[in-house]
Structure 1
């Protein structure tokens, strides 16, 4: 028992001894081109952040050594790695160059030192002391195959710079699912980009997979512009994860298709905070005005690499101790603790900047990447790709935009005919490839809604002609005037009289305006009745101004009551697009895949952006496959359909239960399409202008939209309906507030007159009684 208590006391008294040494050294090797770059910054910041963390490695500090080597210089790379071994590192990071990586790994493998990499490794063999965070070629090829399959490509060109890029994409045409895919391999460099693109254009290849060095991408984009391969027909799939750093300003408005994968979702709140803190670290603790917060994939992978190693150390500390040993490339004696450490690192599962991180035999599994697509204003996330699940596109319209598809249809039609006539709106995408005549009909987007139902009559509807605040003000005025009448009558000597006029010696006087009589006089005159008559000038002013007030109030009430009784009040929950966006009870949507949907999706106006976010996220979907379905949902109630005004007017004229809400949200026109340079374009435009001046187009519109409705005119009178929809509004302070001001001014005048009367009578009495005026007061 004594031994047990002694052991327990020692366990409590002696603090827990950490199983990790207080300092653990790590090394990083970068190419000279990366010196001072984003990858080195990410490495330094990750170590800094880990050392500040009180919970990750509370008793251990990471100390790093950084070495730089020339590209393609394996001898110096191995020599620098041995220098870091001599420094006493317990793990090595980098380099990202695929040629230098194997040489560094050979040194780590010989000495059982964990090698944490973030580079594309083309060797599929298992490496015992290697942990690689970069997606494997198998993962990348699977992602490219899935996106190609989704886009339904049957013919494409792969543009690569060196054999390394070709090896990376070698599995694209080896899978059975791609046996019908025609692939053209094109090797190019900055000096031959233009010629290669010209060859691709000559072969009528419109789908390209581009694998170039990031520093050469601007030359490739320049070649695209020079050869005018930047319209909707071409689609470029970039293998780089850093498309957000490309200068794509010249490509935003040409509807060219550019797609790429992304590892880092900078819109994630946690990731944004890390990137902001990294930016402050780079600026010595000061915040910069950089709002883009875009980090390169190499830098993000380097950051995650350091954190994976730190979490591995934390896991090891819970069950083992780490024994440090002096190592040397000359002795080639392996590190005994290296195998345990690499196994713990290999078991790490965390969420990093590049998404969920998990390993199997040193290679990263269960990868997840964002799919980015260049849209009219910027790059946008349109979906995700995940290992096993494949491509999940959240915005199919980004790839199969109806406006682009309509352009293709128009071009094909124009190649076979001289004219294309239909409900085709004139827009930039279509005008860039074909010609349009002058618009023969102008239109815009408007709101189709069900005709509001009549409002049921309420028991106290007689109060509707006046707003509630007016009723309250009238009540307050009634009390104020009654009290003023009472006080003024008491103050004025001319309201006091002898109740018995025949008895002249009677000194008793009375005042008819007692408190109750004052209130009775006020309410009586308001109701056009009354028995009391004021005698003094001041009280007559009070009475007169109150009569004027009641005249205005009663007349206004009577006139507005007549309007309420003769006008049918309708329940109209929305009046315009803003009302629609600020409520959630009434659903609203557009035609799926139409130009109206594209308008809201690409709009930069805040109200329309808010409406688009609502429509896009609403489940079940508020988009309809055709106009008939949209009209049907409107008639069912609690649904507003956003559609082109011409179609809307056509439906409204044929169904008394439909109406248009608000005005037009945009302005556009229908035109007749012709091939570019067609001699018919100007002639047709002149004919359209002539018909418009003569009013014949408007007469045809009236004929087919308004007059050609069978017997609908007999039971659906739009003018009557318009009158019913107009509603009488309750009078408020803005309408009759002035009469309250007149009333207050009149009461003020009455009070001043009462004071004058009192003073005059006191002066007169003081003279009669031979006393001073003040004494009489």
Structure 2
């Protein structure tokens, strides 16, 4: 029997599915995993503590979870005292691993090197880190060392005056004129941050983002794929992998059979699976295969022993299992799983993804141990000139008042903005905006001059100069009579 303590329903489902799958993989084995799953609120550390004691009293050969780092320390202290294998899958920033702990999450510092290598590969001289909490900032700690290499690293925390409103902070960041960002945010706020970046005009072709959260691929990124924004992210699970799709299908069937209500739609497509769910399945596989290797050909007999949290007793087999797990390698949903001499998962591969017109595409791969970043970006499909670049942008259109091309609308009602104007060219701009997907603002050229080239100075004047030099409001287009 093994216990699982999770805060996420899907984590508990994946835990049970993986146990049943492992039992079916080796039907002749004497090892049978019997999962006991408990779902506990994220910050209920005392509940996690009491649940752990109850599981130990019934006798468990291993304990998985909890999902929460708040509760994990309590559970870890019990497992260390009782020598029970403790398997974690969440990000753990502790610089050493306890004797009974096996953590399958990629080592945070190794993962941080990925984002450092991307910044250097892109030759960014000044980078702004936008983050929401301390854990997100710790996840990119190695980038801060670029300050010693004559590069500028600026950190900006997203703070909200009102719940979920990041626009004031993002507007302030936009005003600095920086265009290259490392976006280090938790999934709790990531979707809203991306949406508000678009709302404040920071999702255009002049901006570049490296997004550090490995679960970003589970969001709907289609609102941003036509804007021309350079968005790079990492991925540790492939949603098109057969085993990943099988797990997603099994989770869907499990939900349906148990009538589990979740925030997701009824179907559970593989691209919506977060990587910690896959890590839990990998953890169960590693645990089972370790027990199988220890007991094959009756080399060893492993029987769980009931233990009390109030006594000094411990389990004699616990450290044998833990040490064997740390020396074993298995191929899982998140790639090759193996640990270094300090117990960290410091050797793993990450797919490098970019957002294109067709959605997310793989453009490279990075290995944490070799620090090798291989970019094999495919040649971009040609599009109509300018279509990709102006999508979702707001253009300033300079106009002159001349019939029938551009006129002030005659009405007894006070009009504002673009509604003040009508005419042939006004209609043309409106229709173009619908076809090409841009927004626009009309500005009147007060002197009414379309533009004349001065042979002496070699310069244009009027609207043509406005567009060529963007001297007023970054003019993008001009409309006038010919």
Gapped runs of 5+ residues in structure 2?
Answer: 259-265, 398-466
Distance 2:2 2:68 in 1: 19
Of the three residues 395, 415, 418, the one matched with 2:377 is 395
- SS class of match (2:52): helix
Gapped runs of 5+ residues in structure 1?
Answer: 1-24, 404-423, 437-672, 687-777
Structure number with higher helix proportion: 1
Q: Report the CA distance shift for 1:213/1:290 in structure 2 as closer, same or farther (over 3 A).
A: closer
After TM superposition, the structure 1 = structure 2 runs for residues 399-438 of structure 1, keeping only pairs within 5 Å, are 425-429=385-389
- CA displacement at 1:89 relative to structure 2: 1.1
Contact map agreement 1:145 1:172 (CA 8 A) in 2 = yes
Distance 2:350 2:75 in 1: 28
RMSD: 3.0
2:281 corresponding residue in structure 1: 303
- CA displacement at 1:215 relative to structure 2: 2.8
Q: Report the CA distance shift for 1:678/1:369 in structure 2 as closer, same or farther (over 3 A).
A: closer
Contact map agreement 2:84 2:100 (CA 8 A) in 1 = yes
Q: Report the CA distance shift for 1:330/1:179 in structure 2 as closer, same or farther (over 3 A).
A: farther
Contact map agreement 2:5 2:38 (CA 8 A) in 1 = yes
Distance 1:89 1:272 in 2: 30
- CA displacement at 1:203 relative to structure 2: 0.9
1:44 corresponding residue in structure 2: 16
Of the three residues 228, 231, 234, the one matched with 1:255 is 228
Q: Report the CA distance shift for 1:176/1:218 in structure 2 as closer, same or farther (over 3 A).
A: closer
- CA displacement at 1:264 relative to structure 2: 0.5
Q: TM-score, normalised by structure 1?
A: 0.48
Contact map agreement 1:137 1:168 (CA 8 A) in 2 = yes
Contact map agreement 2:209 2:232 (CA 8 A) in 1 = yes
1:181 corresponding residue in structure 2: 152
Q: Report the CA distance shift for 1:291/1:97 in structure 2 as closer, same or farther (over 3 A).
A: closer
- SS class of match (1:71): coil
Q: Report the CA distance shift for 1:680/1:248 in structure 2 as closer, same or farther (over 3 A).
A: closer
Of the three residues 90, 93, 102, the one matched with 1:131 is 102
2:363 corresponding residue in structure 1: 382
- CA displacement at 1:369 relative to structure 2: 1.0
Of the three residues 211, 215, 221, the one matched with 1:242 is 215
Distance 2:388 2:83 in 1: 62
Q: Report the CA distance shift for 1:331/1:426 in structure 2 as closer, same or farther (over 3 A).
A: closer
Distance 1:425 1:395 in 2: 21
After TM superposition, the structure 1 = structure 2 runs for residues 525-674 of structure 1, keeping only pairs within 5 Å, are 674=468
Contact map agreement 1:236 1:258 (CA 8 A) in 2 = yes
- CA displacement at 1:332 relative to structure 2: 2.7
Q: Report the CA distance shift for 1:220/1:682 in structure 2 as closer, same or farther (over 3 A).
A: same
Contact map agreement 2:214 2:236 (CA 8 A) in 1 = yes
- CA displacement at 1:222 relative to structure 2: 2.6
Of the three residues 76, 100, 107, the one matched with 2:71 is 100
Contact map agreement 2:225 2:355 (CA 8 A) in 1 = yes
- CA displacement at 1:679 relative to structure 2: 8.1
Of the three residues 334, 337, 343, the one matched with 1:357 is 337
1:371 corresponding residue in structure 2: 352
1:316 corresponding residue in structure 2: 294
Of the three residues 311, 327, 330, the one matched with 2:310 is 330
Residue 28 (str. 1) matches residue 29 (str. 2): no
Distance 1:73 1:269 in 2: 36
- CA displacement at 1:435 relative to structure 2: 9.0
Contact map agreement 1:50 1:307 (CA 8 A) in 2 = yes
Q: Report the CA distance shift for 1:259/1:165 in structure 2 as closer, same or farther (over 3 A).
A: same
Contact map agreement 2:53 2:309 (CA 8 A) in 1 = yes
Distance 1:114 1:148 in 2: 38
Of the three residues 324, 327, 333, the one matched with 1:347 is 327
- CA displacement at 1:236 relative to structure 2: 2.2
Contact map agreement 1:159 1:188 (CA 8 A) in 2 = no
1:141 corresponding residue in structure 2: 112
- CA displacement at 1:354 relative to structure 2: 0.4
1:63 corresponding residue in structure 2: 34
- CA displacement at 1:390 relative to structure 2: 2.4
Deviations 1:258-307 (A, max 9, x none): 2211111122344434444444444449xx97655531111001111111
After TM superposition, the structure 1 = structure 2 runs for residues 402-551 of structure 1, keeping only pairs within 5 Å, are 425-429=385-389
Deviations 1:123-150 (A, max 9, x none): 1113211111111121111111011111
Of the three residues 169, 175, 191, the one matched with 1:196 is 169
Q: Report the CA distance shift for 1:332/1:204 in structure 2 as closer, same or farther (over 3 A).
A: farther
Q: Report the CA distance shift for 1:426/1:312 in structure 2 as closer, same or farther (over 3 A).
A: closer
Structure number with higher strand proportion: 2
Distance 1:188 1:159 in 2: 11
Deviations 1:554-575 (A, max 9, x none): xxxxxxxxxxxxxxxxxxxxxx
Distance 2:271 2:201 in 1: 32
Q: TM-score, normalised by structure 2?
A: 0.75
- SS class of match (1:95): coil
Distance 1:367 1:160 in 2: 25
- SS class of match (1:110): helix
Q: Report the CA distance shift for 1:72/1:427 in structure 2 as closer, same or farther (over 3 A).
A: closer
Deviations 1:381-400 (A, max 9, x none): 211111214221121657xx
Distance 2:36 2:89 in 1: 18
Greater relative contact order (Cα < 8 A, sep 6+): 2
- SS class of match (2:20): helix
2:60 corresponding residue in structure 1: 89
Contact map agreement 1:38 1:296 (CA 8 A) in 2 = no
1:412 corresponding residue in structure 2: none
Q: Report the CA distance shift for 1:164/1:268 in structure 2 as closer, same or farther (over 3 A).
A: closer
Distance 1:230 1:247 in 2: 15
Q: Report the CA distance shift for 1:240/1:182 in structure 2 as closer, same or farther (over 3 A).
A: closer
Deviations 1:43-101 (A, max 9, x none): 1110121122235x622321122223333332222122111111211101111222222
Distance 1:272 1:300 in 2: 11
1:155 corresponding residue in structure 2: 126
